[in-house]
Structure formats: C-alpha cells, structure tokens
Amino acid sequence: MLNISTKTPTGGFSFENTRRNAVLEANLSEKGYSAPNARKTGTTIAGLIFKDGVILGADTRATDDMVVADKNCMKIHYISLSETFFTLPGVAADADVTTQMMSSNVELHSLSTGRPPLVAMVTRQLKQMLFRYQGHIGSSLIVGGVDVNGPQLYSIYPHGSYDKLPFLTMGSGAASAISVFEDRYKPNMELEEAKQLVRDAITAGIFCDLGSGSNVDLCVITDKTVDYLRGYDQPVQKGMRGGTYRYKPGTTAVLTKTVTPLPLDVVDESVQVMDTE
C-alpha cells in the first residue's frame, strides 16, 4: 500500500498507537476489565567488592503480579568478558533489551577505542539512555566488574541516577539484603567469606520478601576470571509429603454399571517416524 506522505521514515519508537491504546483502556475499564500488565521481576539483587574483585548475587524468581512466572530465571547477564551486570526489578522485557543493547555497545566501543571496556563506560551509556527516556524504560540495574581501575560496583535507577558504592542491593528485597550487608561487611574480605555474605544477604531477601524466591545465583568476577555459579544455593526446597494421599481401590461403593460398546472400524493407518536425534 502506498503511503502518500512526503516525510522520509526514521527508526526508533513510534507513538502512533498511544491514542488508540488510551481509548481502548478507557473503554475496558468502564466495563470492569483491565489491560494486561507487563511482567515484572520483583527481586533481590546484591553486589559487593571483595579483595580481588566483585561478587554479584541474585535470586531467581520472576513474578507476574501475585503469581510466580518463572522459578529459575537468569538475572545476571554478561556484558563483556570482564564485566557482568544484573537486571532487576522492573519490566522484564525492558531489562532484556537493555542488556542486549548495552552488550553490543560495549563491544563496539572497545573495538573502536582498541582498549578493554571500563565499567564506568557501561554505566555512563546506561544512565544516558535511561535519562533520555525519562524513566519510561523501567529497568534498574547493578553493574559490576573489574577493569584497569580495579573492581567497581555501580547501581543505576530507571530515571538515570547512579551510585558508586562498595556494596549495593536493589529490588523489592533490597531492605532485607542490605541489613545483612550493613551488619557484616568489611573491606577486603576473602573470597569464601564474601561468597557466604552475599549468599546470606540474598537468602534474607528470599525469606523476607514475597517477590524473591527459589535459588541463589552468584557471579564472582576477578581480573582474570568470571565464575558464574548458577544455583549456588537452594534454601527453599519443595517440601516432601508426609504420607500417601491416594484412596485405596474399593473406597467408593459402585451402585450401578452400564457398558455400551462402541463398534469402530480401522479406516486408515499411517505411521509418522519421530525424529529422535
């Protein structure tokens, strides 16, 4: 179909449907229905700087209002070989697209400058993009990594503000996790002690917050290695049933029984081989 306009088309967001959506939502709410919500990932995420690098930890539950949408989702995403970042509470789709775009941008930038990427560079690009969209992209993140300036940890909020701190938590379970950190954090901890601390902080979030649950994922980043420990701890196992809850055959008395045979003829038989490779 030809478009009789003289403007050259540009890319990016198109706001053509916003009016139509507003009218639709108004009509729906008159009848008592509501439009579907975007899926969020209420969460507990924590990061801390230890002696040799950065440890990031996350829970693995994605919620859809009051229902658990995913029991084991991955919230820690790779940006580049020396850094990783988490995506957090906020709309899951926004988080995914943001991480993918940032990952590409970091790679392009480091190819263009010829140097390994800096954590500060990722943070700056993220916060500029989030500020440009004034918080409508609902993803807050923690960026952690080790570069030539040492281990660094930044947190970025959906409107574009950021913090640089030695330990951080975000998400709906942030209050529970930060209390554990505030109590036991010391600068320059050893690896095992730091892993235990992050695990405890995330577990506090899992137990004390409804939006977080399932397992604890950890990611240990040093200047030489990135160790992604998926399912590091599973504090919440599915409970085992105490007894059997099946009825014995013969529990229900049979009063009457009617048998109606259905005569069927085989008309056609075809065999489809399944590809079981």
Partner 1 sequence: MNTRGLRSQLKDSVPVTGLCPQAGPYGVQDSLRRGFSSVKNELLPSHPLELSEKNFQLNQDKMNFNTLRNIQGLHAPLKLQMEYRAARQIQRLPFLPSSNLALDTLRGTDDTIGFEDILNDPVLSEVMGDPHIMTEYKLGVL
As annotated, the active-site residues are: 43
- At closest approach, how far in Å is the CB of 8 from partner 1? 7
Q: Exposure of 74 by Cβ count < 10 A (0-12 exposed, 13-18 middle, 19+ buried)?
A: middle
Retrieve residue 233's tokens: 């701890």
Structural contact between residues 142 and 56, judged by C-beta atoms closer than 8 angstroms: yes
CA distances 30 to 22, 23, 24, 25, 42, Å, are 12, 11, 10, 9, 29
Confirm or reject binding of residue 8 to partner 1 (CB under 8 A): yes
Q: Which of 39, 64, 74, 109 binds partner 1 (CB under 8 A)?
A: 109
| Half-sphere CA count of 46, side-chain side, radius 13 A | 34
Nearest to 232 by CA among 51, 69, 56, 64: 56
Nearer to partner 1, 116 or 150 (CB): 116
Retrieve residue 81's tokens: 């070989």
Per-residue binder mask for partner 1 (CB under 8 A), 127-146, x = binder: -xx--xxx-x----------
Stretch binding partner 1 (CB under 8 A), from 108-116, 140-148, 171-179, 193-201? 108-116
Nearer to partner 1, 103 or 196 (CB): 103
- At closest approach, how far in Å is the CB of 118 from partner 1? 16
Report the alpha-carbon distance of residue 244 to residue 271 in Å, rounded.
40
Report the alpha-carbon distance of residue 229 to residue 222 in Å, rounded.
14
Confirm or reject binding of residue 28 to partner 1 (CB under 8 A): no
Nearer to partner 1, 6 or 34 (CB): 6
| Per-residue buried b or exposed e for 227-255, using 16+ beta carbons within 10 Å of the residue's own CB | eebeebbebbeeeeeeeeeeeeeeeeeee
Structural contact between residues 149 and 53, judged by C-beta atoms closer than 8 angstroms: no
- At closest approach, how far in Å is the CB of 139 from partner 1? 14
| Positions 155 through 184 that interact with partner 1 (CB under 8 A) | none
- At closest approach, how far in Å is the CB of 97 from partner 1? 8
Nearer to partner 1, 134 or 234 (CB): 134
- At closest approach, how far in Å is the CB of 177 from partner 1? 32
Nearer to partner 1, 104 or 161 (CB): 104
Nearer to partner 1, 21 or 72 (CB): 21
Confirm or reject binding of residue 114 to partner 1 (CB under 8 A): no
Retrieve residue 62's tokens: 């994605």
Positions that interact with partner 1 (CB under 8 A): 1-6, 8-16, 18-20, 22-23, 97, 101, 104-105, 108-109, 111-112, 128-129, 132-134, 136
